[in-house]
Structure 1
Amino acid sequence: MGLFSRNVSVLWIILLEFLLKSVAEEEVLMNTKTETSDLKWTTFSRSKPEWDEVSGLDEENNSVRTYQICQADGSSSHWLRSKLIDRRGASQVYVELLFTMIECSSRITHHRSCKETFNLYYYQSDTDDATASHPAWMENPYTKVDTVAADFLLRAGGEKKPNIKTLRLGPLTKRGFYLAFQAQGACMALLSVRVFFKKCPALTRSLSAFPETVPRSLVQEAVGQCVANAAQPGPNPRPPKMFCGEDGQWVDQPTTTCTCLPGFEASHGDLECRACPAGHFKMGSGPGPCSACPDSSHTGETGSSSCVCRPGFHRAPTDSPDTPCTRPPSSPRSPVPQVNDTSLTLEWSEPLDSGGRSDLSYSVECRMCSTPKSLCVLCGDGVNYRPSQTGIQGRRVSIWGLRPHTTYSFTVMALNGVSALSVPGPAGETINITTSPNVPVLVSGLRKSTATESSLTLLWNTPTQSHYRILKYQLRYCEKERGFEENSCHYMESNVNEVVLSDLRRATQYEVQVRARTLAGYGSFGQAIVFRTLPDEDDSSSPLLVTGILIAVGMLLLIIVIAAAIYCIRKQNHFKDPELSDKNGQYLMGQGVKVYIDPFTYEDPNEAVREFAKEIDVSFVKIEEVIGAGEFGEVCRGRLRVPGKKENYVAIKTLKGGYTDKQRRDFLSEASIMGQFQHPNIIHLEGIITASCPVMILTEFMENGALDSFLRLNDGQFTPIQLVGMLRGIASGMKYLSEMSYVHRDLAARNILVNSNLVCKVSDFGLSRFLQENSSDPTYTSSLGGKIPIRWTAPEAIAFRKFTSASDVWSYGIVMWEVMSFGERPYWDMSNQDVINAIEQDYRLPPPPDCPTYLHQLMLDCWQKERTARPRFSNIVSALDKLIRNPASLKITAQEGAGPSHPLLDQRSPLTPSSCGTVGDWLRAIKMERYEESFLQAGYTSMQLLAHINTEDLLRLGITLAGHQKKILSSIEALAVQNKTPGNVLY
């Protein structure tokens, strides 16, 4: 029980240490609460009052310096700027604000423009060069962080509760930055400002130590090192790495693994490597623990990688250091000889002690003695052993080739893997035998003298021993294919060492053996030698073989010609058959190309989901925030961390609760469609989660969201070549889909997603293309049922529900118009029926402002009434590639009013200031309302003052984007034209 309690205590200590080291650390760059003297921040105001620095008490009654302001005029020109704050290498910092604000309606004299908010800005600088007039007191060159609203307002008789807001600044690139506060008409007090950044604390994990790390991006790589007595395996070790997140939390595990060195084991939860105690060892690097020394070995030191054998015990060279030590076996027991003339059979029993090993074998040593009392010498090569002389696995050996009437000494020895290491050598049992005086002798040297088609002349060596006399020789010869079968072999005797074998078959191999007979009888047959008779000169099979080969070649050529003819005929008929050439619009698939499979063609649509979508463990996913809503549920941003892979952001579509089986199938059908596509301009499916609730679809995360809203947000900020690059990516993705025989049906800028590198990817492959009644996107109920987005749909698809790749090309032309107009609504505010009527009368959308002529012509090609006349997506990709290679062609822009016109489509005249009542109304009308405050602060309070404004004036107002400058100046030029027109009265 005591041991269990100690183990639990150790585990709690390790867990507590891990949790403490995982908590993000904060490093404070500035904290007004800790200042003991005046802050002396810079203030600016075009009118009274100004920000006042006063002393106050915080919630702990400590004296702090605060800034207060109580405006009466509602102006936004009251600024407060801090001193330079050194960022200390951080790229993202956090600002914690503690403030109070009085409710506007509670003030006796409150202005109607009083806002219960204030703006926070920052300005970066490498030097402390800010003055009372530099930088200018306006939004540009400051960077706006956020408009801060109060959660708790002070009112008469109400609770006095301060507001706490934490905001993030970045990315920071210069040495330091200033904070700037802009009041917006409210009475407020800035009680404290704390600026800090988060960093990952020093951490030891998986035997790797990582230093304190400041994140300089979304994920910062940190290089660590192995702890003491640990190293990385492999010939080319790389230092361990981890990633520090921007929130100061360590992300994932080390990318490479450190392991304890030989003689050391991991302890304290893989935080250190501890030496093996005495009597224990660890042979190699790795995660395993130390082990007790094997049998018959020991070690008296700590940190040992092997154990030493005790005296009298050994390890074989092939034994690993973790095997027990062993010793040689004892001698074999009770050898029994059986002598037959000059041959011998020895048998024995196994030794009593095998030495603790299983690799037991035996060897036989032969010595020949001239007389029983003389010195014995080793037997020569003439003595043969079966199965062998050494390495015998059984306990029996046959020996022949001994000399007659000779005394031999045989020693049988038992051996194992360590016998060679023992001193003295292996022990054995020895016996002596004497051979018979008269024995047959072996005949050797059998060879061929001459050969014919039916005979062989053979001869052999005459034995040279003088102590016996050879009476006769006997030959045995057999056809080799039949082997030594008694009914297939023939025998022949000879008194001399030569014989002629006749009546043999032509071109046949024979195995021949010979033996000698003495007074002791026949000896054993010698080694079998193979001889061959000669073949006939006239081989009648050769012409037949040649003839067969020629016939086979001819038949092969005939088959090839027939196959080629059939292929050409079918190919010709294929192109002549109009049914085939227009089977899928005009986009016929070629053979051998992967084709899209509709998941609803499966008897069980869930089978398509399992085939094309990968199931992901829900524990790998972390949902961070909701970013939108889809047809079936919420759309979230999250992180996907699969073990062994780098963590990445994903978009997560969820299926709301209470769904039916049909809704679940419809929801997952989009995954089974997306899972079939692999293209850089098609949204990538990461996987699905169906084993838990809610059911989810995970795709790659596109940082900039939908293309239409992204373009509207960045109106005028991209060059034509950049816009063409986006269009080229969309066309490439659609070309891939058309080649897979997939028809999108709802191609629009809202269904194109944009990542941080401005790469556009086609998305929305599910039933969401059939839009709902309350959708903001215009739809139309066709006579055949279902919802159709009229403004993007081809005429034949509206009228007959004829959706093909050609109808997708029409939709692509509308997407081109959306991109070149920076997200303008196609056909503006026209009704669906008006759009249908205009298209039926061959009216088309005019070119957007500054649209290159080539691009508008390509749009008109996509809007051909006959679908067979529209270009294919492969043609569109080629056309855009030519424009990208020749950027000068993009400078030729379409002229206003060029081409056919129609009152319903004549929406291109610029909105002029004369049609608006105030400067704010005018800026909102041309979608430049973001600059309203800058115009009013610069004194442009009426429309008459706008007539003489120029580019330099716009730069002083902080309007630096060329597209925005051009839009504002174009509208002002229209104002000048109206002033010169008789009868046109301005205000």
Structure 2
Amino acid sequence: MDFFTGVRPLLFSYVLINGILITLQTKEEVLLDMKATGGELGWLTWPLDQGDKLGWELIQRTLNGSQLYTYSVCNVGEREQDNWLRTTFIQRQPAASRVFVELQFIVRDCNSFDGTSLTCKETFNLFTSESDADVGTTFRKGQFKKVATIAPDEITGKNAMHINTETRVVENLSRKGFYLAFQDIGACVALVSTRVYYKTCPDTVKSLASFPETVAGGENQALREVSGVCVDNAISEETPRIYCTVDGEWVVPVGQCQCKPGYEEVKDACQECQPGFFKAAASGDKCELCPVNTQGLDSGALFCPCTDGFYRAPTDPASGPCSGLPSAPRDLVATTTQLSTGKLLLSWSPPEDTGGRTDITYNVECQRCEGSVCQLCGEKIRYEPASTGLTQAKVSVSELDAHLNYTFTVEAHSGVSPFGSQAMPRSNRPPSTSALTTSLHYTDPPRITTMRLVERTSASLSLSWDVSPRTRVQPRPIRYELTYRKKDDNLDVTTYIVLILEKNFVHISDLAPGTAYLFRVQALGSDGSPGGSSIEEQFETSHEEHLTQNNTAVIFGAAVVGAAMLFIVILFLFLRRRKRNSHSRQGPEDTYFSSSEQLKPLKTYVDPHTYEDPNIAVLKFATEIHPSHITKQKVIGAGEFGEVYRGNLKMPGRKEVAVAIKTLKPGYTEKQRQDFLSEASIMGQFSHQNIIRLEGVVTKCKDFFKHPMIVTEYMENGALDRYLKDHDGEFPSFQLVGMMHGIAAGMKYLSDMSYVHRDLAARNILVNNNLECKVSDFGLSRVLEDDPEGTYTTSGGKIPIRWTAPEAIAYRKFTSASDVWSFGIVMWEVMAFGERPYWDMSNHEVMKAINEAFRLPAPMDCPSAVYQLMLQCWLQDRSKRPRFGDIVNLLDKLLRSPDSLKTIADFDPRVSIRLPSTSGSDGSPFRSVSEWLESIKMSQYSENFNCAGVVTMDQVLQMKNEDIKNIGVRLPGHLKRIAYSILGLKDQTSTLSVFAV
């Protein structure tokens, strides 16, 4: 055991001085700490008695007065080493189903030992075993399950010491506690430190909501929802919630709390508004300074009352200033416009003092006086536009009687005038009126009532007209203004003749024979102003000879009939010839190419990011929905920006429909709002049965508790990958190909619009009750350049490696051809019933395999024609991949010829089950049935095998399909998975990472 001589002090000095065990920002609850325990570890070593051989050994060293302990083993020269070191019983917290094991260790280089190259190892294994109670010194290897093989990043040679730190995760713990065990198979290793801990999201206050400390979830619950409570003096319309991630981080807070009226947010609490400040509603705003003409009360004010003499109108906000009464209007002036018809114009200047308001209106009151008696004018007087509620400082008054005195009073009003009226009697009110008395003396001219023809010849017309009775004695005879013109004159060069007459009779000569003339008569007032006028009348001179007139009419009528007949014949011949030409150009076989769909002009996608103001793009491409038309029902997911709800949409005049509602979490920034709504600007441009339909958006959110929303059609069966996993093996190939056809049709539509999706995957395909598949999730999508072969290049952002074409990964060049590659992966997902592409390979391994020309193998029962199409989609040269139009046509042919799907592609279970499915993690056969089932993700059947007495792998290898059914495996997909795995076990090969080329 000379392994650490001379180098151990250096090792622990490095640990202490450089602090290998750092404290992460995420809160960690430690269950076991080897260093903190010191020498009182009490760990069990096995075998207990090895004779002269030594297993794991506790070594003690003193450094700077402190006792340091390590577990070491170094039997590199011995064959078939199997040395175990087991910890004491580690009690698990009930909620901690996922723990982290942090190891610090040293491994010696095998080359530093002489003659041990065949037996020396440089790795050791980590195991775990669950139990509901401490089993003491009882130790059975079969109870332990392997977690990982631990290999060093750096090995220690003769001259340098290297400490390695590795952390492994133990998932799905369910019993009261567990043990860790370390297996040495021939290495020279020293275990310096072992620390076991689990992560928690620490208690916190976010958005004024208090959330308790929460244990981070495991792989089966990546997001753990936690309900919170608003802090004192804060409220929320819905229970505040937040999600705790597996890494112990809080994300996506929902249901933001807000300080009550009279309180403002100070750090993470709500504090009363100071005197002289107020806050009227629950919101995230700060308290405001009391506005003008108000007085501040004590702390915690909801509003500031008005000071004496100032008021608020009913429509004024409680947070607004108070205003006073307006002063009187000024400079009232009456201007006569048409005195002869009893019309005048009143005008005035606005009040000098508006009381601080802009809603000034005016009321006009009229009184008429005869002698010393005055009374209201009544309804006879006409006001234009009205007598009350005037917004402009003028009004036109008509229907006035002559020889009377009129008094007009104009009052200024505002929104607070009613409060001023109630506060004091009219006689004591501040002057808000102005009066003017004016006397009008005018004659009331007669009105023309009837115009008639007295006599006519071919060159003259004699006319007369009647007038209405005179309401006043006229000071002098009435004069009339007669205007006439030819009816058929061009309006641009019409000649009017005007005559001023003293009588209601006229004889007009020198007119053209057989010609119509239009006449208008208007009476003139005593001051020469126009009075009432007649309607325009038409009269016609006679023709020279009656016979000539009749002959002309006959000739004209015959000409018209003849022209009409000729036009009908020409039109018939033209239409017949056009129809014959149309048939000669297009045969029956051309019907498809002249369909209405083909004749539509191609629509091109417009990138909303090209708009200087993104809000304009939203308004252009998306329909605004009023929040009252939407009803949320339940949360169905959590997106990047907030929660996703299932709900109903009831638009006026439309049937209520189920919808999916994406929400933007409270406290968003303007950029987050624009990013959130940009997806709606994209979706709103698409209209295809295989593209998710946008119903509209909610962007006008005045209510605090209403937030921007994107509303889409609701797809009952959710994401395609999850749906296929839940129905593994239930659909025939024909139905799966139908799903692919729908996806391809949607992608062809997008490609025709010069649009690249960039994130095509089964998780982004939604399925409705009719098993119709629709493309969704346009968060990574971008528009192509004008060049059909153009690409979208991005300098940043995440790329979904398993679904992305190699040129897009290497150069970030995205085209419709890279979408075709992704579609090939989606086809594989569909045929594999939601299996994860490339299984448990890392992204680095996936990229390396693709660059070395390896491709995913055919899934079980995959038709050969479908798999060949996948391989075409995965051609390295993107120019040789099929286009989406070609893919749609090929899938359509397969659906029309179901027999073409009967030929099944070659299937290798050793590849497609992706073991460890044919061996243990270290290459050796499985040690237990449960270990084998877990490797093929069928561990739910462990109890079935156990109850049936199938407890060894030898028994498993003897099972047939009927035996598997009899123990309770009924789902076709699960039955196939287990059967093919058994087939792979019988024909085990040494390689576990083969891919079909």
Q: Which residue of structure 2 aligns with residue 355 of structure 1? A: 355
- The reply on whether 1:142 has 2:145 as its aligned counterpart is yes
CA distance in 2, matches of 1:363, 1:549: 66
1:167–1:428 Cα change, 3 Å = same
AA partner of residue 27 (structure 1): E
Shift of 1:377: 1.5
Q: Which residue of structure 2 aligns with residue 29 of structure 1? A: 31
Partner SS state of residue 90, structure 1? coil
Partner SS state of residue 379, structure 2? coil
Counterpart mapping for 1:432-471 below 5 A? 432-436=437-441, 439-441=442-444, 462=469, 465=471
AA partner of residue 294 (structure 1): P
CA-to-aligned-CA distance 1:809-865 (integer Å, 9 cap, x gap): xxxxxx6xx725x9xxxxxxxxxxxxxxxxxxxxxxxxxxxx9897499979999xx
Partner SS state of residue 355, structure 1? coil
CA distance in 1, matches of 2:957, 2:177: 22
Among 86, 94, 110, the alignment partner of 1:88 is 94
Partner SS state of residue 857, structure 2? helix
| Contact 2:523 2:533 survives alignment (8 Å) | no
| Contact 2:32 2:90 survives alignment (8 Å) | no
Q: Which residue of structure 1 aligns with residue 496 of structure 2? A: 487
Q: Which residue of structure 2 aligns with residue 220 of structure 1? A: 223
Q: Which residue of structure 2 aligns with residue 117 of structure 1? A: 123
CA distance in 2, matches of 1:150, 1:892: 42
1:199–1:60 Cα change, 3 Å = farther
- The reply on whether 1:382 has 2:387 as its aligned counterpart is no
AA partner of residue 128 (structure 2): Y
Q: Which residue of structure 1 aligns with residue 649 of structure 2? A: none
- The reply on whether 1:332 has 2:337 as its aligned counterpart is no
CA distance in 1, matches of 2:261, 2:568: 69
Q: Which residue of structure 2 aligns with residue 566 of structure 1? A: 585
Shift of 1:93: 1.6
CA-to-aligned-CA distance 1:915-962 (integer Å, 9 cap, x gap): xxxxxxxxx9x996966655999xxxxxxxxxxxxx986448999976
Partner SS state of residue 168, structure 1? strand
- The reply on whether 1:202 has 2:203 as its aligned counterpart is yes
Q: Which residue of structure 1 aligns with residue 400 of structure 2? A: 402
Q: Which residue of structure 2 aligns with residue 631 of structure 1? A: none
Q: Which residue of structure 2 aligns with residue 411 of structure 1? A: 409
Counterpart mapping for 1:575-594 below 5 A? none
1:564–1:890 Cα change, 3 Å = closer
1:150–1:43 Cα change, 3 Å = farther
- The reply on whether 1:181 has 2:187 as its aligned counterpart is no
Partner SS state of residue 214, structure 2? coil
CA distance in 1, matches of 2:207, 2:477: 87
Among 819, 824, 828, the alignment partner of 2:857 is 819
| Contact 1:34 1:64 survives alignment (8 Å) | no
1:776–1:297 Cα change, 3 Å = closer
Shift of 1:124: 4.5
Q: Which residue of structure 2 aligns with residue 800 of structure 1? A: none
Q: Which residue of structure 2 aligns with residue 298 of structure 1? A: 295
Shift of 1:700: 2.9
AA partner of residue 296 (structure 1): N
CA-to-aligned-CA distance 1:504-532 (integer Å, 9 cap, x gap): 99999979676586xx6777523775778
Among 81, 88, 103, the alignment partner of 1:97 is 103
CA distance in 2, matches of 1:872, 1:483: 65
| Contact 2:448 2:522 survives alignment (8 Å) | no
| Contact 2:121 2:188 survives alignment (8 Å) | no
Shift of 1:26: 0.4
CA distance in 2, matches of 1:22, 1:504: 109
AA partner of residue 146 (structure 1): T
| Contact 1:471 1:495 survives alignment (8 Å) | no
1:858–1:77 Cα change, 3 Å = closer
Extract unaligned runs of 5+ from structure 2: 1-21, 541-549, 611-639, 641-670, 677-753, 765-777, 783-792, 807-813, 839-846, 873-879, 929-949, 960-977, 990-997
AA partner of residue 585 (structure 2): I
Shift of 1:337: 5.5
**Structure 1 length normalisation: TM-score?**
0.52
Partner SS state of residue 410, structure 1? strand
| Contact 1:934 1:957 survives alignment (8 Å) | no
Q: Which residue of structure 2 aligns with residue 366 of structure 1? A: 366
- The reply on whether 1:311 has 2:302 as its aligned counterpart is no
Shift of 1:443: 5.4
Shift of 1:368: 1.9
CA distance in 1, matches of 2:144, 2:462: 114
CA-to-aligned-CA distance 1:281-327 (integer Å, 9 cap, x gap): 34556554433333222331434454333222234445445554332
Shift of 1:379: 0.5
Extract unaligned runs of 5+ from structure 1: 1-19, 575-589, 597-607, 612-620, 622-641, 647-672, 689-693, 708-733, 762-770, 779-788, 793-814, 823-850, 895-907, 911-923, 938-950, 973-987
* Worse-superposed segment, 340-349 or 444-453: 444-453
CA-to-aligned-CA distance 1:227-277 (integer Å, 9 cap, x gap): 555566xxxx666665544332345x6467655555444443xx3444432
1:873–1:102 Cα change, 3 Å = closer
Partner SS state of residue 121, structure 1? strand
1:970–1:222 Cα change, 3 Å = closer
| Contact 1:853 1:892 survives alignment (8 Å) | yes
1:133–1:526 Cα change, 3 Å = farther
| Contact 1:267 1:273 survives alignment (8 Å) | yes
Shift of 1:971: 7.7
Shift of 1:199: 1.9
Q: Which residue of structure 1 aligns with residue 746 of structure 2? A: none
- The reply on whether 1:422 has 2:420 as its aligned counterpart is yes
Shift of 1:878: 6.4
AA partner of residue 422 (structure 1): G
Shift of 1:388: 5.3
CA distance in 1, matches of 2:352, 2:870: 100
AA partner of residue 327 (structure 1): G
Partner SS state of residue 437, structure 2? strand
Q: Which residue of structure 1 aligns with residue 170 of structure 2? A: 169
| Contact 1:51 1:67 survives alignment (8 Å) | no
| Contact 1:333 1:348 survives alignment (8 Å) | yes
Shift of 1:131: 8.8
* Worse-superposed segment, 195-204 or 486-495: 486-495
Q: Which residue of structure 1 aligns with residue 800 of structure 2? A: 701
Partner SS state of residue 297, structure 1? coil
AA partner of residue 182 (structure 1): Q
**How many percent of aligned residue pairs carry the same amino acid?**
23
| Contact 1:117 1:150 survives alignment (8 Å) | no
| Contact 2:152 2:164 survives alignment (8 Å) | no
Q: Which residue of structure 2 aligns with residue 841 of structure 1? A: none
Shift of 1:391: 5.2
